[in-house]
Amino acid sequence: MANNPISARRVALKDCDQGHHAGLLLARYLPTLNDTDNKSKPNILRDAIAALANENLRCFYEKAFKRRRSQYSSKYTAHTPDGCRLIIGLGNASPLEAGITLHHTYGTPIIPGSALKGLCAHYARQTFFDWKEEKNLWIEKDSSPFSEEQYTFIFGSTNEGGKIVFHDAWVTPCSLKEALKLDVITPHHQDYYDNGKEAPTDFDSPVPVPFLSVIGKFEIILSTLPDVDEAWLDTVWEILASALKNAGIGGKTSSGYGRLKLPEKRPTKAERLKAEKEEQERPWREILEKVNDWGKFKEIIIESEQLKDYQHLPAVGQAVRDKAEAIRKKYPDKWKRDRNERDSQLAEWLKPSGVTWPPQPSQK
């Protein structure tokens, strides 16, 4: 029996603004099911991708991200290697056949803490223990540096909880805009997979199934229960870093998906603070990298106000002044010709940061 197109969206939503919550778009805004031209699903996936590029969402999400990260000291940034993607929640219930795990409030990609803990625990078992069928239990390998007591202390057992907490990993604000990517699975034997009654043959037609995968950086947060030495985090870090690199997390790991890159050793406090500072400065530094002459300077910084959200920061003011100084030295004749106008515009722009222009000559 042929599948006829049917409405999949509430009538009340038909003329509504779709908004910028990717999770709601995927769950509630699919127009039709079984459409003959098969455009509804790819179109709603593209709408979800576009939703994350909204500037209002980025600003709102960035505030929540910073508020959350301020509550924890042990936080690390992991990123997908070039050419690698994540599929978290592929088997979740969805009107689009293939699911994805998104934050309930913000509609942004996350890696559940339960997934990170499950991966880490499974990888530790496979690496440091052997399964003994006759005894129906795991036995430590002869050369294993990891004991059953340590395993239970970290991950817990059926009788007690573990002492290490794996928090949900949020995508970083700088990765948000490009985090979702259109992907496709192509089953070649749909009838066989659906009911198993017809054997697969070379005459079956492939059926592309579009879905979303994820790239970018995620902030992984680990913490201990009260009165537990944070040195335990070093052990967990090494296991988790190896698991994310070699085994991967989420779906289709056998096809190369799910890899995340972490340093092999847990960074020191100084290294974490440095990395955090670099992550916070990355958005405005990337904007400044586009400026190489006064034309670009005026277009990007003064007229388009791309740095307006960072204009009050002394570090930004200093970086902008350094950029202007470099342009002045590179093109002295052009600068001299329009000096009054340029100096006036720069001095006005730098006022909120407390940085002055023109630079005062050094006293000798």
Burial class, 15, CB count within 10 angstroms (exposed 0-12 / middle 13-18 / buried 19+): exposed
Q: Taking residues 236-263, what's their average pLDDT?
A: 92
* pLDDT digit string, tens, across residues 265-310: 777 777 777 777 777 787 888 888 888 899 988 888 888 778 888 8
Q: Token digits for 43?
A: 């179109």
Q: What is the model's pLDDT at position 94?
A: 80
Q: Which residue has the tokens 């335990």?
A: 232
Contact 345, 357 (CB under 8 A): no
Q: What is the model's pLDDT at position 171?
A: 94
Q: What is the model's pLDDT at position 32?
A: 64
> Does 19 have pLDDT greater than 90?
no
* pLDDT digit string, tens, across residues 154-212: 999 989 899 999 999 999 998 999 999 999 888 777 777 776 677 877 777 787 888 99
* pLDDT digit string, tens, across residues 79-112: 888 889 999 998 888 877 788 999 999 999 999 9
Task: Kindly state the helix (H) or strand (E) to which residue 7 belongs, with its residue range.
Answer: strand 6-7
Q: Taking residues 119-125, what's their average pLDDT?
A: 94
DSSP conformation letters of 210-277: EEEEE-SEEEEEEEE-TT--TTHHHHHHHHHHHHHHHT-SSS-GGGT----B--SSPPPHHHHHHHHH
* pLDDT digit string, tens, across residues 124-136: 999 998 888 777 7
Mean pLDDT of the chain: 84
> Which residue from 216, 239, 28, 274 is spatially nearest to 117, judged by alpha carbons?
239
List of residues 6+ apart from 350 with CB closer than 8 A: 317, 320, 321, 356, 357
User: Residue 351, Cβ neighbours under 10 Å: how many?
Assistant: 14
Most confident of 33-42, 259-268, 324-333: 324-333
